[in-house]
């Protein structure tokens, strides 16, 4: 896991690495800061699942160890969800307003800064527009809508305060997927939505034309996606 601060430095977490490292630049051969397992009050060989840095805090998702908030000014460490059934944090997300979201097997959670705590959103069988189970991550588009993508279900869209609406492989939806097991989601410079499949392939929904473009995966075909899960889609600083 990796994230960058405003000064161009970056924080790096590893699988079974036992620490979180900060490098001031790519040219550094050694880290400038090391956050050890003792400081973070976790097991010696912990795995970092995701990292987000903002002006005040470093947020660290730890496999089966909940979420850690490290305060830069004081060096204080605060832990969330450790020792509970919600400790399996695997994805962190910062939305367009700077809000921090956490994803685990129980649902998604929004950090409320005034409370220094999280508000949870979960699946409720009694509510048709509640969050669905098996969430993989959350994403916000340029219009402010929130998307959650799920293992084996598809994509749910929350149009601001209207609840979640499902999009999956069913052609009864004008916008439908070729793979309902979605593992990544991103937005390009024109606002088009890119969705990567755990079983391979990418779906692109073009907002202006209403077209769905599908890039399927195949072996040994030039200029085509290879087979394998699309676990991340990233828009770089050149908007490419």
Q: What is the pLDDT of residues 73-125, one digit of tens each?
A: 999 999 999 888 899 998 999 998 899 999 998 889 999 999 999 999 888 88
What's the rounded mean pLDDT across residues 3-8?
90
Bridge partners, residue 62, by sequence: 48, 66
| pTM score, whole prediction | 0.72
pLDDT of 6 strictly over 80: yes
Give pLDDT, residue 78.
95
Which stretch, 21-25, 156-160, 167-171, 175-179, has highest mean pLDDT? 21-25
Cα–Cα distance for residue pair 98/227, rounded to 1 Å:
35
Mean pLDDT estimate for the chain = 83
Half-sphere exposure of 6 (CA within 13 A, CB side): 4
pLDDT of 177 strictly over 60: yes
The band of 154, judged by pLDDT with boundaries at 50, 70 and 90, is low
Cα–Cα distance for residue pair 90/60, rounded to 1 Å:
10
The residue with greater pLDDT, 226 or 100, is: 100
CA pseudo-torsion sign 15, 32, 237, 159: positive
What share of residues in the chain are helix, strand, coil (percent, to 5)?
A: 0, 40, 55
pLDDT of 68 strictly over 80: yes
Give the position of tokens 């969330």.
Answer: 80
């Amino acid at each position: 896991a990796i994230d960058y601060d405003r000064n161009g430095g970056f924080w790096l977490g590893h699988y079974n690495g036992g620490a979180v490292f900060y490098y001031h630049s790519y040219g550094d051969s050694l880290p400038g800061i090391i956050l050890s397992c003792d400081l973070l009050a976790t097991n010696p060989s912990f795995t970092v699942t995701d990292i987000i840095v903002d002006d005040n805090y470093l947020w660290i998702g730890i496999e089966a160890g909940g979420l850690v908030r490290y305060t830069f000014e004081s060096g204080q460490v605060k832990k969330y969800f450790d020792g509970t059934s919600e400790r399996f944090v695997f994805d962190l997300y910062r939305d367009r307003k700077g809000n921090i979201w956490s994803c685990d097997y129980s649902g998604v959670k929004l950090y409320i800064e005034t409370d220094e705590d999280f508000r949870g959103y979960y699946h409720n069988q009694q509510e048709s527009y509640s969050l669905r189970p098996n969430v993989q991550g959350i994403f916000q588009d340029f219009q402010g809508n929130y998307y959650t993508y799920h293992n084996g279900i598809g994509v749910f869209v929350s149009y601001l305060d209207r609840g979640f609406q499902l999009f999956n492989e069913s052609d009864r939806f004008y916008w439908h997927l070729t793979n309902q097991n979605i593992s990544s989601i991103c937005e390009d410079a024109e606002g088009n939505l890119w969705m990567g499949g755990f079983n391979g392939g990418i779906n692109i929904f073009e907002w202006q034309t209403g077209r769905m473009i599908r890039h399927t995966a195949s072996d040994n075909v030039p200029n085509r996606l290879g087979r394998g899960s699309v676990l991340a889609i990233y828009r770089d600083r050149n908007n490419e």
